[in-house]
């Protein structure tokens, strides 16, 4: 008697040998032994293939298909057909009938899933076929659990921040593993090796459960609405949001044990009321329908998760504790890494905030705007910087630089060079001398500390600008009429090379013109070189200026945005620092300048000249204050000066007075004693002026003060 056997292939992405690749049955294929025909099928399967219900026949009676004893040509005995549905194979379907599709590896297959017909798109994503009641069925096989754990951990690992990881845990477990989940995390979450101070507090971070409308996709019609347990629908309203873990309490013991426990365990029965509150614990199902799983990171417990199944679903099994342990472990480690990543991002943001100016100054005669763009979100700070530094005489220093590299080390070097540039600017050194000292500073920091820098000084009174360059891209000047030109500035060598002289050039800076300083990230990328990028920038500025007409320069902030719009998808290879300066200048009619001989009559002459200038400007209300203050400052200057003293008045939004001499020592404010005959001049200046200061120059100093115009 011939013996025929049926070989079953497991669900896999590998296709068996000799199988037609176009067969729609995918992985659920059978390979019959050569010579076996349709009679080799079990009776039930054959009956289904013929469209008739499969029935078991008595031993020795012919089956529906005319087979031998028991309907089995191989003589397997009665009841063999359909007696083991787990190992039976579906019959070949006729053309046009439904055939099961291959199931991805990440979705567990439920027993008999291929016999329940097509599933909805929502259930296909969750990996479950709804039973007649509409609820998902739990996993029964070890292979199902392994596939579920693999898919869930991959979904959790995809998260980068805290919310993504917690959401990944919830979406991976509901409804495949549980009907509802509660996730509690420590508040605040500890970072790294720091030891939290104070009691351990858990805060409810997220809840998730099967909603009433399980699938709202167009075209999906659900015949029977899924029953929802009233208790699960009330979870979010009755569970406690905050929980303080009492030392030595039941919850602390469960968290210390790390292992997940069922809700009916003695430890969990005492810990759940402490975690969820009395009302929240009352709505959690009893017995093995809830699992309390501690979330332990690298060094400490950082929270807890509660997995819940409703009464219409079978209870958790012992192996489900292992699944909960894997989910809790992967989630806790991911949360630990997310917290560390957030701290690193916070440090990078703080470093950028402290290295770059928070706000730009508002010097007289010039308006400023700036932009900074990192190369990528993961590298939020680099070596690019910009700065605007007010100088004596209403001048302003404009600086832009780029340290080679994108690491934190480059940012630290950038901060040191920026601080050095601010200190050198305070000494009012010429631009070429500033670059020379920056070069020496870079060599002291290390042999490989290289940077490019452009340093410019704008004088609003003379309408001139002095520029020195150290290997940086040249600036672009946009004139009032709309013409944009690349300024011819000697390129120089980068900072850090050493032994190189820097050269400065002085150029006109007409009123209404805009100077654009930038780093090479704006004009250079993998898709274009520096020369073509600079030309594209010049054309962009000229085209933007044409939109506002020849008599009106474009708004400064909008101009910066238009410049950044020239960047394409492949142009963000480097950090970008941008500094734009609109030159307004100070009109000659608003400037009064005199030279006073260092004689005893100089204070009297200074009062007379100041009074005449204020009368010409219509500021007679300030005459008394200005005469008193000018007399005090000029008296201090001529007492020690050996060369003529300069006196200058500037009328802008404020009235500014500047007195310069050739003595480098700066005056200091001090409290004069009752018996002192002098020492009260600066005290009067400090009390009567809006602000005042003293700046050391290369050949002396300047003492200045400002008064608010009436």
pLDDT in tens, 663-708: 988 887 776 666 655 667 788 888 889 888 888 877 888 899 999 9
Is pLDDT of 319 > 70?
yes
- Find where tokens 């008296």 sit: 635
- Comparison of pLDDT for 87 and 464, the residue scoring more: 464
Is pLDDT of 69 > 80?
no
Confidence of residue 233 (pLDDT cuts 50, 70, 90): low
How far is residue 365's CA from residue 480's CA, in Å, rounded to a whole number?
16
pLDDT at 348: 73
Rounded to an integer, the average pLDDT of 305-330 is: 88
pLDDT at 28: 35
Q: Dump pLDDT digits (tens) for 493-516.
A: 999 888 788 999 999 999 999 999
Q: Dump pLDDT digits (tens) for 172-229.
A: 888 889 888 889 998 888 776 666 666 788 888 888 787 655 444 444 334 334 444 4
Highest mean pLDDT, choosing among 80-84, 186-190, 604-608:
604-608
Measured over the CA atoms of residue 579, residue 582, residue 588 and residue 592, the dihedral's sign is negative
For residue 190, report the phi and psi dihedrals to the nearest 5 degrees: -70, 150
How far is residue 356's CA from residue 710's CA, in Å, rounded to a whole number?
36
Highest mean pLDDT, choosing among 73-77, 275-279, 661-665:
661-665
- Find where tokens 């469209």 sit: 51
DSSP letters, 599-634, are: STTHHHHHHHHHHHHHHHHT-GGGHHHHHHHHHHHH
- Are the beta carbons of 336 and 162 closer than 8 angstroms? no
Q: Which segment of 42-51, 146-155, 284-293, 525-534 scores lowest on mean pLDDT?
A: 42-51
Beta strands in 210-300 (DSSP E): 242-245, 261-262, 290-296
How far is residue 657's CA from residue 689's CA, in Å, rounded to a whole number?
11
The continuous run of DSSP H or E covering 478 comes out as strand 476-478
For residue 608, report the phi and psi dihedrals to the nearest 5 degrees: -65, -45
Q: Which segment of 237-246, 394-403, 593-602, 697-706 scores lowest on mean pLDDT?
A: 237-246
Share of the chain above pLDDT 90, in %: 31
Is pLDDT of 121 > 50?
no
Residue 557 CB coordination number (10 Å):
13
Q: Which segment of 3-17, 276-290, 600-614 scores lowest on mean pLDDT?
A: 3-17
Helix, coil or strand: residue 517 = strand
* Contacts of the segment 193-202: beta carbons below 8 A, 24+ positions apart: 193/299, 199/244, 199/245, 200/244, 200/245, 200/252, 201/242, 201/243, 201/244, 201/245, 202/242, 202/243, 202/244, 202/245, 202/275, 202/303, 202/304
The whole-chain average pLDDT of the chain stands at 76
Q: Dump pLDDT digits (tens) for 448-493.
A: 788 999 999 999 999 999 999 999 999 999 999 889 999 999 988 9
Rounded to an integer, the average pLDDT of 418-424 is: 92
Confidence of residue 412 (pLDDT cuts 50, 70, 90): confident
Highest mean pLDDT, choosing among 391-395, 480-484, 609-613, 673-677:
609-613
Give Cα 379 distance to the centre of its chain.
9
For 5, how many CA atoms within 13 A lie in the half-sphere containing its CB? 2
* Contacts of the segment 627-630: beta carbons below 8 A, 24+ positions apart: 628/684, 628/688, 629/657, 629/684, 629/685, 629/688, 629/689, 629/705, 630/603, 630/606, 630/657, 630/659
pTM of the predicted model, to two decimals?
0.62
- Comparison of pLDDT for 446 and 121, the residue scoring more: 446
Highest mean pLDDT, choosing among 66-80, 252-266, 484-498, 661-675:
484-498
What helix, strand, coil percent values describe the chain, rounded to 5?
Answer: 35, 20, 45
DSSP character at residue 259? S
Is pLDDT of 606 > 50?
yes
- Are the beta carbons of 362 and 324 closer than 8 angstroms? no
pLDDT at 198: 66
Is pLDDT of 2 > 50?
no
- Are the beta carbons of 266 and 250 closer than 8 angstroms? no
pLDDT at 570: 58
Q: Dump pLDDT digits (tens) for 633-667.
A: 999 899 889 999 999 999 988 899 999 999 988 88
Angle between helices 250-257 and 266-282 (to 10 degrees): 120
Domains of the chain listed by start with CATH number: 142-209+235-345 (3.30.450.40), 356-583 (3.60.40.10), 591-708 (3.30.565.10)
Confidence of residue 251 (pLDDT cuts 50, 70, 90): confident
Q: Dump pLDDT digits (tens) for 555-597.
A: 999 999 999 988 766 566 678 899 999 999 999 999 999 999 9
pLDDT at 207: 82
pLDDT at 237: 62
* Contacts of the segment 55-64: beta carbons below 8 A, 24+ positions apart: 56/81, 56/82
How far is residue 647's CA from residue 151's CA, in Å, rounded to a whole number?
79
């Amino acid at each position: 008697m011939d013996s025929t056997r049926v070989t079953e292939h497991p669900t896999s992405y590998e296709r068996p040998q000799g199988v037609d690749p176009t067969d729609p049955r995918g992985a659920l294929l059978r390979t019959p032994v050569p010579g076996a025909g349709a009679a080799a099928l079990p009776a039930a399967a054959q009956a289904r293939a013929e469209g008739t219900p499969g029935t078991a026949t008595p031993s020795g009676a012919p089956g529906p298909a005319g087979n031998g004893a028991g309907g089995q040509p191989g003589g397997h005995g009665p009841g063999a057909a359909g007696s083991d549905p787990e190992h039976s194979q579906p019959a070949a379907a006729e053309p046009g009938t439904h055939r099961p599709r291959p199931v991805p590896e990440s979705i567990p297959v439920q027993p008999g899933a291929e016999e329940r017909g097509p599933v909805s798109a929502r259930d296909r994503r969750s990996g479950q076929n709804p039973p007649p009641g509409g609820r998902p069925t739990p996993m029964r096989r070890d292979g199902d659990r392994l596939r579920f754990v693999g898919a869930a951990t991959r979904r959790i690992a995809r998260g980068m921040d805290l919310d993504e990881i917690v959401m990944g845990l919830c979406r991976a477990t509901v409804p495949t593993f549980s009907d509802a989940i509660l996730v509690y995390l420590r508040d605040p979450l500890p970072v790294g090796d720091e030891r939290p101070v104070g009691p351990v507090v858990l805060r409810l971070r997220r809840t998730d459960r099967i909603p009433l409308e399980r699938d709202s996709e167009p075209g999906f019609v659900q015949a029977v609405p899924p029953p929802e347990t009233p208790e699960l629908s009330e979870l979010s309203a009755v569970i406690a949001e905050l929980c303080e873990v009492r030392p030595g309490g039941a919850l602390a013991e469960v968290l210390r044990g790390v292992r997940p426990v069922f809700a009916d365990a003695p430890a969990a029965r005492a810990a759940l009321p402490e975690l969820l509150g009395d009302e929240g614990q009352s709505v959690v199902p009893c017995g093995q329908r809830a699992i309390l799983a501690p979330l332990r990171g690298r060094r400490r417990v950082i929270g807890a998760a509660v997995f819940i199944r409703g009464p219409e679903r079978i209870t958790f099994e012992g192996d489900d504790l292992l699944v909960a342990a894997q989910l809790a472990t992967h989630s806790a480690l991911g949360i630990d890494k997310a917290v560390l990543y957030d701290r690193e991002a916070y440090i990078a943001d703080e470093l950028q905030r402290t290295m770059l100016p928070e706000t730009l100054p508002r010097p007289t005669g010039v308006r400023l705007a700036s932009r900074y763009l990192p190369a990528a979100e993961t590298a939020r700070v680099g070596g690019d910087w910009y700065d605007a530094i007010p100088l004596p005489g209403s001048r302003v220093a404009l600086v832009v630089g780029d340290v080679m590299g994108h690491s934190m080390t480059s940012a630290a070097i950038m901060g040191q060079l920026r601080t050095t540039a601010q200190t050198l600017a305070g000494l009012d050194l010429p631009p070429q001398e500033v670059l020379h000292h920056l070069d020496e500073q870079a060599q002291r920091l290390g042999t490989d500390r290289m940077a490019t820098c452009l340093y410019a000084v704008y004088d609003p009174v003379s309408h001139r600008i002095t520029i020195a360059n150290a290997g940086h891209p040249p600036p672009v000047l946009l004139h009032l009429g709309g013409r944009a030109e690349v300024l011819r500035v000697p390129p120089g060598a980068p900072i850090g090379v050493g032994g190189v002289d820097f050269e400065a050039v002085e150029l006109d800076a007409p009123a209404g013109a805009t100077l654009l300083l930038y780093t090479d990230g704006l004009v250079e990328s993998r898709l274009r070189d520096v020369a073509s990028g600079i030309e594209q920038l010049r054309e962009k500025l000229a085209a933007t200026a044409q939109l506002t007409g020849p008599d009106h320069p474009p708004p400064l902030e909008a101009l910066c945005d238009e410049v950044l719009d020239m960047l394409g998808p492949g142009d963000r290879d480097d950090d970008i620092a941008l500094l734009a300066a609109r030159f307004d200048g100070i009109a000659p009619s608003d400037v009064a300048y005199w030279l006073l001989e260092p004689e005893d009559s100089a204070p009297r002459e200074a009062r007379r000249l100041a009074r005449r200038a204020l009368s010409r400007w219509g500021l007679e209300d300030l005459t008394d204050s200005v005469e008193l203050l000018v007399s005090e400052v000029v008296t201090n200057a001529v007492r020690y000066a050996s060369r003529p003293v300069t006196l200058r008045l500037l009328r802008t939004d404020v009235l500014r007075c500047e007195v310069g001499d050739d003595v480098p020592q700066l005056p200091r404010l001090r409290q004069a004693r009752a018996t002192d005959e002098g020492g009260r001049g600066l005290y009067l200046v400090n009390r009567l002026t809006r602000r005042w200061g003293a700046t050391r120059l290369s050949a002396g100093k300047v003492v200045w003060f400002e008064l608010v115009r009436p």
